[in-house]
Amino acid sequence: MSDASRIMRCTISRQNAGGSLISFLSARFPYHTAEEWTRLAEGGTVLLNDAPPDHGRLLMEGDVVRYYPAEKPEAYVDTAVTVLHEDEDIILVDKTGNLPAHPAGKYFKNTLWWILIKRLHVPNPGIINRLDRETSGVTLIAKNPRADRICRRQFSERSITKKYTVFTEGTFQGPAHARGYIVPGSTSIMRKKQMFEHSELAAPEPGRENQWAETGFTLLEKRGGISVLEAIPHTGRLHQIRATLSALGYPVVGDKIYGLDEGVFPRFLEDKMTAEDAARMRMKRQALHASELTFRHPTGGQPMTITAPLPPDMAALLKS
């Protein structure tokens, strides 16, 4: 097995109990398929309660899963994480715009999860709102299972308020309240790309509740062909803000998937971006920042509002 410092440890919560180990791993850590997780478990790199897993056994609350990943080189990230608030139950940090939240693909140590464990001494962090690697801003982390459960319930019940600052191309005509559905972009060359389908209805059609997306957009200022918006998502769908703005005709500045040119993303993956690509993107990452989060503390229940200032790269773009 690998160096013990690379062990990934998870304690099964009540909401994850009752399913299979492979289903849990595939959903929580999708950088491996179910078949790959099965092979890893059979090969001894995944343990359940410090023993080889019995694949017919269903997970129970309190079970401990350990994964021993193979050592591999990792790409550069910006690890300058700032603590915004911390107490015995939760920690909130300002994540940079080049830092994955969880281990995935080529990232393991170069993740917020690893920084929380090794630098901030949170032994079993529960990252509640997982921002994309290229999205900066406020991230809420639970430090124990009870706080994790209560915080996640607030998100699932939509009793929290999330505010984002986002730069878009073009002159935004707003304010706007976009309602519709987030669906897979089947015609796109990119597997993970989503599409926003506008709806005139105020609520989802029966059977489509899991695709329903609502986002409010307010124009804050216009500068040099860029619109600065405040975005408040009322639902939490994958790529909701970026897909919605793309459908409205105002793609996010620097967005390689939903931006001005869909061909940029495959060139980025192959390290073949041109100088023209870089100039058109304006930034090295998408100009999306989680600026504010309002929720109730998992112990006292008191309302909390945590803010993160505009990051240097977005501030520099406005000045230029």
Whether residue 187 is found in the same domain as residue 242: yes
312 three-state secondary structure = helix
Whether residue 182 is found in the same domain as residue 236: yes
Residue 71 has what pLDDT?
65
Length of the chain: 320
pLDDT reading at 280 higher than 90:
no
Residue 1 has what pLDDT?
35
Percent of the chain with pLDDT over 90: 64
Whether residue 147 is found in the same domain as residue 84: yes
93 and 130 Cβ atoms separated by less than 8 Å: no
Whether residue 112 is found in the same domain as residue 248: yes
In whole numbers, what is the pLDDT of the chain averaged over residues? 90
Tell me how far apart the alpha carbons of residues 308 and 88 are, in angstroms, rounded to a whole number: 21
Mean pLDDT of 150-168: 97
Whether residue 11 is found in the same domain as residue 81: no
143 and 117 Cβ atoms separated by less than 8 Å: no
Range from 108-112, 175-179, 228-232, 299-303 carrying the lowest mean pLDDT = 108-112
Among 67, 94, 111, identify where a domain stops: 67
Among 67, 82, 113, identify where a domain stops: 67
228 and 220 Cβ atoms separated by less than 8 Å: yes
pLDDT reading at 186 higher than 80:
no
pTM: 0.79
- Count: domains in the chain: 2
Tokens of 288: 């999306």
The domain spanning residue 56 has which CATH number? 3.10.290.10
Whether residue 26 is found in the same domain as residue 171: no
In three state form, how does the secondary structure of 256-318 look? CCCCCCCCHHHHHHCCCCCHHHHHHHCCCCCCEEEEEEEEECCCCCCEEEEECCCCHHHHHHH
Whether residue 157 is found in the same domain as residue 268: yes
> Is the Cα torsion angle 120, 124, 128, 133 positive or negative in sign?
positive
Whether residue 36 is found in the same domain as residue 100: no
Whether residue 307 is found in the same domain as residue 268: yes
Tell me how far apart the alpha carbons of residues 42 and 45 are, in angstroms, rounded to a whole number: 8
The domain spanning residue 155 has which CATH number? 3.30.2350.10
How do beta strands 212-223 and 176-184 pair?
Answer: antiparallel
Residue 104 has what pLDDT?
73
Among 31, 51, 67, identify where a domain stops: 67
Its domain, for residue 140, covers 74-320
Residue 2 has what pLDDT?
39
Nearest to 115 by CA among 135, 129, 96: 96
Residue 125 has what pLDDT?
93
pLDDT reading at 3 higher than 50:
no
Whether residue 39 is found in the same domain as residue 163: no
Whether residue 21 is found in the same domain as residue 83: no
pLDDT reading at 44 higher than 90:
no
At residue 117, φ and ψ (nearest 5 deg) are: -75, -50
Whether residue 165 is found in the same domain as residue 28: no
